[in-house]
Amino acid sequence: SKDHLTTIDNHLYIEDVDCCRLAAEEGTPLYVTSERRLRENIRRYHRAFPDAEKYFAVKANGNLAILQVAAQEGMGADIFSAGELSLVRLAGIPRDMILFNGNSKSEKDHIAALQAGVRISVDSNEELEHLARTARNLDSEAEILFRVNPNVSPKTHPKIATGLRSSKFGIPAEQVAGTYKRAMELEGIKPVGLHCHIGSQILDTAPFAEAAGRMMDITRAVVAEGGNVERIDLGGGLGIQYQPDSTAPLPSDLAKAVLPVIQDSCRDMGIFPQLILEPGRSIVADSTIMLTGVNVVKRAHVNFVAVDAGFNVLARPMLYDSYHHVLAANRAEEQGEETYTIVGPICETGDVLARDRRLPRLVRGDTLAFLDAGAYGFSMASQYNGQPRPAEVLVSEDRWELIRHREDESALLAGQTIPSRLMW
């Protein structure tokens, strides 16, 4: 259902823009986002969860134009740093719909959150005490949720499973009610709810239902202690379909799995908390492709095609062995004739973006499109090996606009100084 991607005269189009033209005019590597697809993805969540607040997980994509679209479409924000807080405030996301998350916040982070007046997700008993002190010093009161470790296995890549007992995130489930009680007594703190996030790229709704059940158990324990639970945040994590012949649950499937669990238990308890979700990947991933130019085709042990984007531009394949589907943007109607391993320009053997892909016979100058690159794509890009970071464009119908300039080499020098004693 990637109807924002089509083929016309052997060229790949995103909405009504020819990807070959984009590559020629803006250069490669290039991140290209379909505004229509982005808006559709958000609206799908609104339809599935009409009563929930949806907080976009900014770590997935921190581009201001994309955050602006999310704000226009009524999303809040899940932020993990003071930097992300500045971005979402600039994009106009209302403070009442921002949750400052994180397992390792500094005093500066707490001050930034308190001064902006956003809610804070508290990840440990120790953080609670630090935050209370800081809030009192500022004569302010922190509205907090507790990040709970629900001990649920999400069946995903181990590096992105976050809700297991062994993960660094959250307060162990059995401690939460006691911590909540302590928070109610603390001056400077107002506990208003519970938060969890079990992992990312989760392709089965059962773990979400299980986590919702655990959250309800914990809520019951908190309510029994006299706690007010006004907000329940189930985090993000809904997976997407990276492999063309795979399937992924939709927001409506997620709703079917979790809403009955929450509604039934809350009715039993006589409470009606605000539900919150924190989707990242399922909002942006498939809205965006990454275009990269072919530099070299080498026939060796295998056929290597070396492109101008490596793990500096798209880190996911190297970090998580993740699959991104690849199309030849200027040979979009040609049959796969050869099997290629696609590698980048970085000086490491692990700089492999894709293995064993059937593609048309490629030559220098061709353009490849990596699909589903909108989540954790640019946001994890680096300047490793002296590579300035790529540009980003936003496409709407037959127009496109640059939403981030390509860095030039001066970006590599930014912030650096040479001590004067070395300058002789």
- Residues contributing to the site for ligand LLP (CB under 6 A): 57, 59-60, 78, 101, 160, 162, 197, 200-201, 235-238, 278-282, 316, 320, 375-376
Nearest CA among 170, 154, 35 for reference residue 101: 170
Please list the residues that pair with 367 across neighbouring strands: 293
Contacts for 424 with CB less than 8 Å, ≥ 6 apart: none
**Smaller CB distance to ligand LLP: residue 282 or 367?**
282
CA distances from 175 to 147, 202, 214, 322 (A): 11, 26, 13, 35
Question: With respect to ligand LLP, which residue has the nearer C-beta, 162 or 205?
Answer: 162
Asked if residue 55 lies in contact with residue 282, where contact means CB atoms within 8 angstroms, the answer is no
Q: Which is nearer to ligand LLP, 222 or 375 (CB)?
A: 375
Q: What is the 3-state secondary structure (H, E, C) of 182-194?
A: HHHHCCCEEEEEE
Closest to ligand LLP by CB, 44 or 133:
44
Taking the complex as a whole, the smallest distance from the CB of residue 160 to ligand LLP amounts, in Å, to 5
Closest residue by Cα to residue 372 from 275, 219, 241, 199:
241
Residue stretches of the annotated binding site for pyridoxal 5'-phosphate = 237, 278-281, 376
Q: Whole-number minimum distance, CB 68 to ligand LLP, in Å?
A: 19
Long-range contacts (CB closer than 8 Å, 24 or more residues apart) made by 104-109: 107/134, 108/82, 109/81, 109/82
Bridge partners (DSSP) listed for residue 233: 195, 276
Distance CA 372, CA 66 (A): 15
Q: Give the whole-angstrom CA distance, residue 339 versus residue 388.
A: 30
* Catalytic residue (choose from 19, 20, 266, 347): 347
C-alpha distances in angstroms, 293 versus 131, 199, 215? 49, 33, 47
Long-range contacts of 157-162 (CB under 8 A, 24+ apart): 157/201, 157/320, 157/321, 157/322, 159/319, 159/320, 160/199, 160/200, 160/201, 160/320, 161/198, 161/199, 162/197, 162/198, 162/199, 162/200
Nearer to ligand LLP, 15 or 123 (CB): 123
The nearer residue to ligand LLP, 60 or 70, going by C-beta atoms, is 60
Annotation says 347 is catalytic = yes
Binding site as annotated, residues: 237, 278-281, 316, 320, 348, 376
Residue 284 and residue 375 in contact, taking contact as beta carbons nearer than 8 Å: yes
Q: Which residues are catalytic?
A: 347
